[in-house]
Structure 1
């Protein structure tokens, strides 16, 4: 006995005739009649009263049609539930993102997302390791730098231009550098987590120069490097968006603003575009919609005014 044929029996009962059921199901009447006959054979008993002037179910036929109808309603409810899940963001969404990037640049966007989609529970994981999107329960990973995993789907989220900044307190004690060569006489707050932390290449259009970062303060947290730079510990390097409020408040000022580090790309990674849940699509779209102006490629990133010439 085939479940599909039982569901056809329920549809015929609801429609009241084979012709009406055939139209509703978009199934030829002969095919429908043949499948109902096969159902009677598999049951081993008549489901329709033979010779009746209109379609009439036997007692067993009524009982089977009633049970099949309840099953059909459950299936319809399941279809509706699946359709709702496909269109309405809901469920737990797990995102892997570097801690300071989340705290300093994405916290507000995350908060707005859960207010916008109250049926989504957003879990932000700041583990420093590279998570496995295929074998671990993560929906999205935010990755800094180049992506060397071709099996993943990567969308470039933003490109961060990194410049040099210092506090007015620090520059009161040291003359502001006028050229990259002047940096040799200055202290840096060094981010030790980076590869080749003490060497950096500065760019100014087609000009490039390699500099040594030396100083008594080192930290493996960009948030702490920023705090130490604000406190006058030396010159630090940061993406513009991370220090925009400091520049406005005057707690940091640009150093050699025409010279910058190589831009740092930021990507959003997923395991696949196919069958992407609504919650994941909504999250990625929301991040792009709430991206700050300074990170938008269609807008010119402001260059702070020069200090010291």
Structure 2
């Protein structure tokens, strides 16, 4: 396929019937333009222009080539204009997969703001605990919690979510409040099915401790952990923003206030680095809002 750039240059020369006139319009040296057209003719294998000292004329082949190229160049310019409009105001269906609780608690308000900002985008959200196959399924981006495993997928860190320890006042009245992480093994701890199920890594400044934990409840849903925690069933590690409302109304209180759990990385996962405008704007928007 011949260079579209050279084709566009030829169209300008053919319209101006002059290298000098076309060069002025294009803002490039006359010698460069002449060399590019000669290269195009050599690549095609046909003379496109009759050159004289005063002006140029199209050959028969040049007339045919000009009529075809003119439409192609016009279509290409229109396509670039439309793509520019898409970048300014992206459109299309955005398919996102994300964890249930995270989507309901964190994303819902942000999605509303994003949707108002970009009215041309429609949405298809998959809120489920399963790991969607971004290669085999029609998904634009996955929002995932925790460090992303090494893979061929592209991971973009959105932010890190601070996590603290909480319990209901009724539970603490019955079981007592721990004063050190080592005492957590004597408490009912509400645990997720993760690598932290039996050990909670807690931090206090530069100090780190692996606190052994146990309890009657193990589950795979943060919302359920939070609910059981408010009902006085034990101690939970919760994101600070997740627990904020329950702390404000007195349903939960923070314990071991000098300590906090390892912050969770929130990542946007895509199959490729080259993203359509709708996806790139969504990822940039989340990163901007959470910064």
TM-score (normalizing by structure 1) = 0.72
Q: Distance in 1 between matches of 2:38 and 2:235?
A: 84
Contact 1:18-1:32 within 8 A present in 2 as well: no
Q: Match for residue 101 of structure 1?
A: 102
Which segment is superposed worse, 60-69 or 225-234? Answer: 60-69
**What secondary structure is seen at the aligned counterpart in 1 of 2:241?**
helix
Structure having the higher strand fraction is 2
User: Within the alignment, does 1:130 sit opposite 2:131 as a pair?
Assistant: yes
Contact preservation (8 Å) 2:101, 2:221: yes
User: CA deviation digits over 1:192-230, x for unaligned, max 9?
Assistant: x22352443444442525222213x44321111111211
Written as runs of structure 1 = structure 2, the 5 A alignment for 1:243-258 is: 243-258=243-258
State the secondary structure of the residue aligned to 2:244. Answer: helix
Q: Which structure 1 residue ranges, 4+ long, deviate > 6 Å from structure 2?
A: 1-6, 35-41, 56-64
After superposition, what is the alpha-carbon deviation per residue over 1:39-91, rounded to whole angstroms, capped at 9, x for unaligned? 99859xx998x99x866679997787455433332222122223333454333
Question: How many correspondences in the alignment?
Answer: 286
- 1:198-217 to 2 correspondences below 5 Å: 198-205=198-205, 206=207, 208-215=209-216, 217=217
Whole-Å Cα distance in 1 between the matches of residues 186 and 43 of structure 2? 91
Higher mean C-alpha displacement, 110-119 vs 127-136: 127-136
Q: 1:112 to 1:174 in 2, by over 3 A?
A: same
Say if 2:46 and 2:61, in contact at 8 Å, map to a contact too.
no
**Distance (Å, rounded) in 2 between the aligned partners of 1:163 and 1:40:** 70
Please name the residue that 1:225 is paired with: 225
Aligned to 1:263, what secondary structure does the other structure show? Answer: strand
* 3-state SS in 1 of match to 2:286: helix
Residue 161 of structure 2 aligns with which residue? 160
TM-score when normalising by structure 2: 0.76
> 1:219 and 1:14, CA in 2 relative to 1: closer, same or farther beyond 3 A?
same
Query: 1:203 touches 1:209 (CA, 8 Å); kept in 2?
Result: no
Larger Rg: 1
Q: Is there any run of 5+ residues in structure 1 with no aligned partner, and where?
A: 297-309
Q: Is the 8 A contact 1:166 1:230 kept in 2?
A: yes
Paired position in structure 2 for 1:119: 120
Structure 1 residue 167: deviation in Å? 1.8
1:30 CA drift (Å): 4.8
Rate the CA distance shift 1:184–1:8 in 2: closer, same or farther, 3 A. closer
Find out whether 1:235 has 2:235 as its counterpart: yes
Contact 2:168 2:229 in 1 (8 A): yes
